[in-house]
Amino acid sequence: MRLTLMIFMQVTAAAHHARAAELSGVVLGPGGAFVKGAVVDIWTAAPVDGTGSICPSCYVDCTKQAITDAEGKFRIPLFRDDLALKLLVYTPGFEPEFFSDVRPSGNPWSLELAREPMAVDCGKSFSNLRIHVASSNGDRLPGCRVTIRGMGREPYDTIGPLNTRERHWRVTDGEGMAVFPCLDEETFYSFDVEHVGFAAQRFVAREWPGRAIQVEINRGATISGRTVQVGEDGATRPLANVVIIPENETGPFVNLPKAVSDAEGRYTLRGLPAHASYVLSGNSYVNNRLAYDPPTIRVWDLALGENRTAADLVFPTVSERRSIAREGFPWPREGEPYDFYAKTLDGRAVDGRALRGKVVLIAWWATWCPPCLETIPKIRKLSLEHQDSDFVVLGVNMDHSLEAADRAVKKYDVNWPVVTMPTDAQGRDRWIKRAGVFALPRYFVLNRDGELISDADWSKTLSVVSRLIEEGGSIEKAGLIDP
């Protein structure tokens, strides 16, 4: 079990070692009829072999989509051929449907949709929620994806999570109408509306029984720019295959478009919600690993229909990157040296290079992560069993509050050094993205050469540690430097 860690900006990956590929297939309705105009959306992805080191929706190919032609056919160019994809397919008149474990090697795929059921008589206290979607100039918009994101009840005026067992996807019909059958009349709902070529927007349906909720969406705004890298000679050069990720600083979180820079370092983000300010993050990857510390820029007050040219996203020189990366943890690469430098709760420094010659367990945890807390007694037992050997445990706490971390250390009798994140939002975000840890719990094992040899669940971690410790040695608290 893992808990997702919410951060300032999620990262995504473009693996240079994997070949470019294409996903193709056909969408069919009942009786094998071709379905024209269906949207085929790449929802999430995961490596075919092994475990992914980033979130399932953070790969570059995610959010790509295609629209089927008159014969129901679709083609989607991919950056990678080594991923298993989860697709969402939707179109008016049919039930939206997920298709899992879709791989380019299985082309062409045959994806079948079922007809959407008719609205029904719901009985007392329940009604059909009807949402009518139009463009900003009043045109009806068929084919919009409408997603209920949360729910709440008066007078609390809060939105809580939706029961995920309920069917909460609908697609607008030829009249621009989406119908969610038999919802509780005393509940209000938040919902997102997305459509190809338009900016995603979030709305709230209040006092909806007995009437259709009318909403409008627009084509949004566009940001264009370049990604460049500074050479050791001071000259800037285009940097290709950088994933550009926008974060809306002023509005609710909705799905936002990503972009990838071309050979000239140029990129374009289309369909962004207007009347907002954005932080753009540039993420460059090699072999599915973050290659550079992501630079960011801000774009202020983007207006409706505006085409804004942003400042360059500038990546530093190699020597500058090494200086920036001095404090914190690097992106985990199994089989490579894992050098880090951080400070513990009590102010001592931990230098990973000083731990060479020892077996090191790095346990990433937080107080809001029940599986993490359940493992603490197991780590304590392991530490006590091998206290006379060359075994070192280092905890990395991911709480935003130092006070919360300190209370947890005392409450759960954590008897090993605990490192904490920066307390400011910008420093914390940079620290997390560099470390590449977006879900908890997480366990790293370093061998005596300081190489990361295991990034796995607790059961495998325990077996790897036990095997390495059998090689012998002795130490108490090496690597700690008094302040």
Q: CA separation (Å) from 279 to 178, 201, 246, 296, 306?
A: 33, 18, 6, 7, 17
What are the tens digits of pLDDT across the range 69-117?
999 999 998 877 888 999 989 888 888 888 999 998 888 999 999 987 7
In the chain, the domains with their CATH numbers are 3-112 (2.60.40), 126-217 (2.60.40.10), 221-321 (2.60.40.10), 325-481 (3.40.30.10)
Share the mean pLDDT of the chain.
80
**Long-range contacts of residues 456-464, Cβ cutoff 8 Å, at least 24 apart:** 456/51, 458/375, 458/378, 461/361, 462/378, 462/382
Q: pLDDT value at position 295?
A: 79
Q: pLDDT value at position 375?
A: 92
Report the interhelical angle of 370-385 vs 458-469 (nearest 10°). Answer: 10
Q: How confident is the model at residue 291 (pLDDT cuts 50, 70, 90)?
A: low
Q: How confident is the model at residue 62 (pLDDT cuts 50, 70, 90)?
A: confident
**What's the rounded Cα separation, in Å, for the pair 296 and 430?**
10
Q: pLDDT value at position 395?
A: 94
Q: CA separation (Å) from 246 to 95, 135, 292?
A: 31, 24, 18
**What's the rounded Cα separation, in Å, for the pair 450 and 343?**
18
Instruction: Please list, in sequence order, all residues whose beta carbon lies within 8 angstroms of the beta carbon of residue 229, skipping any fewer than 6 positions away.
Output: 236, 237, 239, 314, 315, 316, 317
What are the tens digits of pLDDT across the range 185-202?
888 888 999 887 788 888
Instruction: Please list, in sequence order, all residues whose beta carbon lies within 8 angstroms of the beta carbon of residue 277, skipping any fewer than 6 positions away.
Output: 248, 249, 250, 298, 299, 300, 301, 302
Q: pLDDT value at position 267?
A: 92
Residue whose entry in the numeric block shows the structure tokens 């409450």: 411
The number of residues making up the chain comes to 483
Please confirm whether the linkage preceding 332 is cis (ω < 30° from 0): no
Instruction: Please list, in sequence order, all residues whose beta carbon lies within 8 angstroms of the beta carbon of residue 161, skipping any fewer than 6 positions away.
Output: 150, 151
| Neighbouring-strand partners of residue 434 | none
Residue 315: alpha-carbon gap to chain centroid: 22
Once rounded to an integer, what is the mean pLDDT over residues 11-22?
49
What are the tens digits of pLDDT across the range 397-437?
998 888 888 999 999 999 899 998 887 776 777 778 778 78
With left for phi above 0 and alpha for psi between -120 and 50, is residue 99 left, alpha or beta?
beta
Q: Is residue 5's pLDDT more than 90? A: no
Q: pLDDT value at position 170?
A: 86
Task: Tell me which of 145 and 5 has the higher pLDDT.
Answer: 145
Q: pLDDT value at position 225?
A: 94
| Neighbouring-strand partners of residue 261 | none
What are the tens digits of pLDDT across the range 235-282?
889 988 888 888 876 665 677 888 888 889 999 998 888 888 888 888
Whether residue 222 contacts residue 272, with contact meaning beta carbons closer than 8 Å, is answered with yes
Pairing state of beta strands 391-397 and 359-365? parallel
